[in-house]
């Protein structure tokens, strides 16, 4: 959930992670990821390269020296991503993708339910030492420059996300 501590990067979580063990749907490598709502793709990491052990060590050293995770490191940890702008300052982010669906690129309009990518573990430390582990979708709802639920209690976050996912 949003605001959960992420000790490995001395930060907090900004979205929801969908894992196999937490859902009523199996989620694993190459599970289809669908657009949550109509919008326009503003980011599609088609030229993404996998995180290397050297890059991870460099980021870990920088975080230790700074005492916190910076925006650049956080972006690397999100891995391969697709972002969709829904208007009104609302953007959804889909991260740790194993790959992006054919035809998805910056500037393309999508409809709710369109295939935009596939679950993976890109950007995670596990992608280096356990390439088949930690498969999940990281999903964020951004409102302006903040993530949905920023600074709220777990109960308040849950309520917001239940409203966001309500039909």
CA distance 72 to 45: 15
**Residue 6 predicted with pLDDT over 80:** no
Instruction: Write down the pLDDT at residue 8.
Output: 66
* Domain that residue 141 falls in: 5-165
Q: Among residues 137, 126, 125, 13, which one has the least CA distance to residue 69?
A: 13
Torsion of CA 166, 43, 13, 30, to 10 degrees: 70
Token couple for 102 = 């054919």
Q: Give the residue-averaged pLDDT of 131-138.
A: 89
CATH number at residue 75: 2.70.70.10
Q: What pLDDT, in 10s, does the model give residues 108-130? A: 999 999 999 999 999 999 999 88
Q: How far apart are CA 138 and CA 136, in angstroms?
A: 7
Q: Check: CB of residue 13 under 8 Å from CB of residue 3.
A: yes
Domain count, the chain: 1
E strand residue ranges, 25-162: 32-34, 39-44, 82-87, 90-95, 97-100, 109-110, 115-119, 137-143, 146-147
pLDDT band at 29 (very low <50, low <70, confident <90, very high): confident
b/e burial code for range 16-40 (CB count within 10 A of at least 16 → b) = bbbeeeeeeeebeeebebebbeebe
Distance set, CA 162 to CA 9, 54, 60, 85 (Å): 28, 40, 34, 20
pLDDT class of 154 with cuts at 50, 70, 90: confident
The full DSSP string for 32-70 is: EEE-SSSEEEEEE-TT--PPPHHHHHHHHHHHHHHTS--
pLDDT at residue 120 in the model: 96
Q: Enter the pTM of the model.
A: 0.91
């Amino acid at each position: 959930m949003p605001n959960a501590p992420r000790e490995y990067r001395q930060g907090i979580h900004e979205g929801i992670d969908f894992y196999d063990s937490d859902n009523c749907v199996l989620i694993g490598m190459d599970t289809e990821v669908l657009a949550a709502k109509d919008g326009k793709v503003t980011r599609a990491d088609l030229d993404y390269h996998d995180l290397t052990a050297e890059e991870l060590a460099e980021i870990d050293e920088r975080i230790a020296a700074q005492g916190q995770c910076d925006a650049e490191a956080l972006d690397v940890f999100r891995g391969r991503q697709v972002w969709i702008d829904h208007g009104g300052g609302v953007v959804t982010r889909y991260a740790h993708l194993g790959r992006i669906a054919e035809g998805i690129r910056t500037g393309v309009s999508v409809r709710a339910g369109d295939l935009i990518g596939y679950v993976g573990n890109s950007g995670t430390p596990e992608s280096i030492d356990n390439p088949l582990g930690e498969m999940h979708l990281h999903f964020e709802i951004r409102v302006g420059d903040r993530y949905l639920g920023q600074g709220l209690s777990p109960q308040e976050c849950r309520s917001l996300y239940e409203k966001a996912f309500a039909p």
